[in-house]
Every structure is written in C-alpha cells, then in structure tokens.
Amino acid sequence: MNVVIFGATGFSGTAILQEALRTHHQVTVFVRDPSRLLLSHPNLKVITADVMNRDKVAEALEGQDAVIQCLGIGGKGSAQATTFISEATGLIIEEMEKKEIKRLIAMSNVGAGNSIAFLPRFFVQWILPYFMKWLQVIIEDKNRMEVRIMSSNLWWTIVRCPNITDKPAKGSFRATLDGKGLRLSITRMDMAVFIIQQLNDDTYHRQAPSISN
C-alpha cells in the first residue's frame, strides 16, 4: 500500500515508520528536518517542507492510498495553548478530500473526546490542570483535531494513546471503545503495530479506540 506519514521523525512517528517499512508498504514521509530521519530504505521517499505548506502537502498526497497523521509539538511543549495539530490536520483533510483519498489514521491521546471519562476524576480535576498543564493544552488541541476528523467524509480511525514508553515491545495490546481494561501505558512499538494494522483492518472504521498494553 502507498502510505504517507506526517510526523515520522518524532518519538512515536519513528516507530510507526519502522513498522510500515517492515510490513512492506511504500512509504512517503513528510518532514521539516530531514536530518532527524535516521534511516533509509528502498521503499522510502522523503518530502521536506513545513506541514502548513499546502502545495507540498498536495504533492505528498499524490498517488497515496492512505495517510497516517502522528504529528506532535515536540516533547511536552511549552504548556502554552496551541492549535498546530488541529490546523495541520484540517489542511491535510482538505487536500485528501480534493484527491479523493479516503483512509486516514490519526494519533490522539486518552483524555480527548469521550475518553476523558476513562481517566480518574482526581486526575482530570487536579493533576491535569495544575500539574500537567502541558498535557492539557495538547488534549485541548487533539479535541479540536478529533472534531475536524469526525466531521469529514473520510474513512478515519483515531487511535487514542495513554503514556507511550520506550520499553521493549510486549507483543500484545488491547483496544477499547468504552475504557474497560484500559491501562496506563503502551510501548511505542506495540502502538506502531496497532496503527499499521489499521491500514488493512476496518474493525475501527470511523471509531476512536483507546489502546494500551
């Protein structure tokens, strides 16, 4: 499958890129800084530009079967309000619709949308706003992103992740739509396996599963 990945040089995106290549997809990555791309592969094409460059986004989408959006703001960010991910996703969706590319898989966070109910009340009322403001502003932007995706005509899957760790893959994970069985973390390689599986699996078509180990 021809797949373009936005955000392929980040902590999560690097794992997703590796898994996409391991499973023999033809991959285009859209990166702002190609020096952060630490691998090469015969099935890998690189486009260098800012994700808000509409013409370059349109170029990257040419001939693609699916899009994976795993954009981030770089670590924990500054804890200042941001609209980067929601605005970039909106632009990508607009160009996908123009080119009639239907399949979109987007990374989000547990805590976005209705999954806020999956988190302990004390965490939502006290920890998040007072001690993890950096995460709260990311979730707020992911909320805007999710609304934009869900209002589109795309064949989307939004994958909500808890804390993503760099521990060895466990080789198994669980996905939930109602929060039952959800744990606090997932390894980044297990997360990547789940996301790449969605390219050929319509189980979560137009749904937003939360995943964990």
pLDDT digits over 101-149, tens only? 999 999 999 999 999 999 989 888 998 888 889 999 999 999 999 999 9
Residue carrying structure tokens 């509409």: 54
**Residue 41 identity (one-letter amino acid):** H
- Domain ranges (residues) in the chain: 2-212
Q: Helix, strand or coil for residue 5?
A: strand
Length of the chain: 213
- Stretch (H or E) spanning 26: strand 26-31
pLDDT value of position 79: 76
Domain at 2-212: CATH code: 3.40.50.720
Q: What does the angle CA 115 – CA 119 – CA 121 come to, to the nearest 5 degrees?
A: 125
Convert the pLDDT of each residue in 12-60 to its tens digit.
999 999 999 999 999 999 999 999 998 899 999 999 999 999 999 999 9
Q: What is the pLDDT of residues 150-189, one digit of tens each?
A: 999 999 999 999 999 999 999 999 999 999 999 999 999 9
Mean pLDDT estimate for the chain? 95
Rounded Cα gap, residues 65 and 210, in angstroms: 24
Number of CB atoms found within 10 A of residue 89's CB: 25
SS3 68: strand
Listed residue (9, 98, 86) closest to 57, CA to CA: 98
Q: What is the mean pLDDT of residues 89-99?
A: 98
| Helix, strand and coil in the chain, % to nearest 5 | 40, 25, 35
Confidence of residue 75 (pLDDT cuts 50, 70, 90): low
For residue 146, the SS3 value is helix
Q: Is the pLDDT of residue 77 over 80?
A: no
* Amino acid 74: pLDDT: 74
Q: How far lies 203's CA from each of 40, 50, 69, 102, 120, in Å?
A: 32, 33, 19, 16, 28
**pTM for the whole thing?**
0.96
For residue 36, give every residue at least 6 positions away whose Cβ sits within 8 Å of its Cβ, in sequence order, or none.
Answer: 9
